[in-house]
Amino acid sequence: MKISRRKFIGLAAAVALLPAELLASKGSSLRGETLRAECAGKDPGKKISRRLFVDESGGASDRFRLAGCVVVNAASSKKLKLLLQQNLGDAPELKWHKVTSRNAEAYKAVADAILFALHRGQIDFRYSKLASSDANWRNSRTDIGYSSATELLMRHYAVESRDTQKLYIYPQRRRAAGSMLALRQDLNRFASNGRQVRSPVRLIEYRDSISSVPSQVVDFLVGALAYSSNVRVPNAIGASGKQRLAEYISARIPSSARVS
């Protein structure tokens, strides 16, 4: 699909005009300071709802598997969806695999808009990275079609958020025989670790990226990180436009976004 820079350039302006309530008062890292600031002035015992959109990139033949999640609050996700969809031109969805050397420059405008939103704290992004040899999902009962890089990411977020947030997790749809309910129970047991806390993970449910803009955003970011991590000749002279874009995005996501 041919995607022109003109069709995508409006995305940067649209993200810059996200509603004022989503903006941080100061520049922030990717740790989601704006989202967490909602807790200020509210009942400290009341949990805040968060939506985690999850995807993963990298195959068995690659050196690394990478999982990532884009986190938005329930109130802002629809606004973000509308703002982004209105500026995608005639492209049905934003996907990393659609990037080519011919359209990489157009996609750079999209990348800049997303990175701007991340650095302003309008959305949060985390990712995990494992060697493919260590990435097999350990429990067939909870296997939802992803590697243990995704399990690591979800466990980290569940522990971090157990006292303050209610988590609704939406992985991109995959074919697998594992139980979403069993995985939710497993994550809640891991997060509680014997403590008297309410279960942080309230729902795990597949989402189709064609109808979910946050899912498209995480696909784009994780795809770029995995492409950069798995490229066989990094920074080679004459690198493709897609490789240069992947390295451009990777260089602008700080190490603090990675969980381990």
> What are 81-91's pLDDT values in tens digits?
665 665 555 66
pTM across the whole model: 0.81
> pLDDT category, 113, cuts 50, 70, 90?
confident
Question: Tens of pLDDT along 4-54?
Answer: 444 444 444 444 444 443 333 333 333 455 554 454 445 556 788 899 999
d(CA 110, CA 5): 9
Alpha-carbon 233 to chain mean position: 26
Coil/strand/helix, residue 229: helix
d(CA 103, CA 108): 9
67 touches 146 (CB < 8 A): yes
Query: According to the model, what pLDDT value does residue 198 have?
Result: 73
d(CA 119, CA 27): 7
Tell me the backbone φ, ψ of residue 50, rounded to 5 degrees: -130, 145
Coil/strand/helix, residue 260: coil
Name the residue type at position 134. Answer: D
Give domain 5-19+32-257's CATH number out of 3.30.420, 3.40.50, 3.40.720, 3.30.1360. 3.30.420
* Token pair listed for 180: 């979403």
Q: Which residues pair with 67 in a beta bridge?
A: 56, 128
Domain boundaries, the chain: 5-19+32-257
Which of 150, 144, 216 lies closest to 181, judged by CA?
Answer: 144
Question: Tens of pLDDT along 51-66?
Answer: 999 999 998 889 999 9
Cβ contacts of 242 within 8 Å, gap of 6 or more: 99, 100, 101, 104, 227
